[in-house]
Structure 1
Amino acid sequence: MEVTKWDMADYIETPEDVIVYLSTALEEGEPADVINVIGAIARSKGMTKLAKEVGVSREALYTSLSEKGNPSFITILNLLRSMGIVLQAQKISVPTHAQTAAISAMA
């Protein structure tokens, strides 16, 4: 029996799926999870097409969105824009411990 690796990209079929997956990752606040979800969304849309739209090679896009990748913020913004997604700032009522720690670490 052959076991295939589960890939979130296989389950992203509608614009609503994109919003649910990305919103959940952003709310949880783990940067690696956000990048993982963005990568899955990109794979579901077609990496070759998106790489051309963003202005990077397909290989560079795969590398930057990989587990060991560290994409620049501008790459993420351009990628999201090419997929029809924008980030919006929203006030949170009570910051979580992780958010407070992240803000403190940046200071």
Structure 2
Amino acid sequence: MADVLSIYDPAEDLVSEDGIALFMAEALETGDAAYIANALGVVARAKGMADVATKTGLSREQLHMSFARNGNPSLQTVLAIMKAVGLDLTAKPHAG
């Protein structure tokens, strides 16, 4: 009997504000711009892409393009989306 694989979307499990904040904090700690952009896209899907589009003034297509594999959202776009999903971008000194 063949195993059946299902598609997993982490956005479905991001149901609390604390969970979303932790998810993004861990993504930011990687320092990997593509990974961070992808994680922000997951958060946007969790919050509802249409709602995020309305709050940012960006189209859903612009949001999807920003978070595509080769997407490269501008800092302005990242900040607008962070605000729309209820997150702040903060800085802290490097450890060490």
TM-score normalised by structure 1 residue count: 0.81
Q: Deviations over 1:2-22 (max 9, x none)?
A: 533211101101011111111
Q: 1:50 to 1:2 in 2, by over 3 A?
A: same
Partner of 2:30: 28
In the alignment, the residues of structure 2 paired with residue 16 and residue 6 of structure 1 have an alpha-carbon distance, to the nearest angstrom, of 21
In the alignment, the residues of structure 2 paired with residue 31 and residue 69 of structure 1 have an alpha-carbon distance, to the nearest angstrom, of 10
Return the offset for 1:61: 0.6
Q: Which amino acid aligns with 1:57?
A: S
Q: Deviations over 1:34-93 (max 9, x none)?
A: 111100000001101111111111111111111111111000001101111111110012
Partner SS state of residue 6, structure 2: coil
Superposition RMSD in Å: 1.3
Aligned pairs, how many?
Answer: 94
User: Structure 2: any 5+ residue segments left out of the alignment?
Assistant: none
Partner of 1:102: none
Q: Which runs of 4+ in 1 moved over 3 A?
A: none
User: Structure 1: any 5+ residue segments left out of the alignment?
Assistant: 95-107
Instruction: Write the mapping of 1:12-51 to structure 2, written as runs, cut at 5 A.
Output: 12-51=14-53
In the alignment, the residues of structure 2 paired with residue 11 and residue 47 of structure 1 have an alpha-carbon distance, to the nearest angstrom, of 15
Partner of 2:6: 4
Q: State, as a whole percentage, how many aligned pairs show the same letter.
A: 32
Q: Greater relative contact order (Cα 8 A, min sep 6): structure 1 or 2?
A: 2
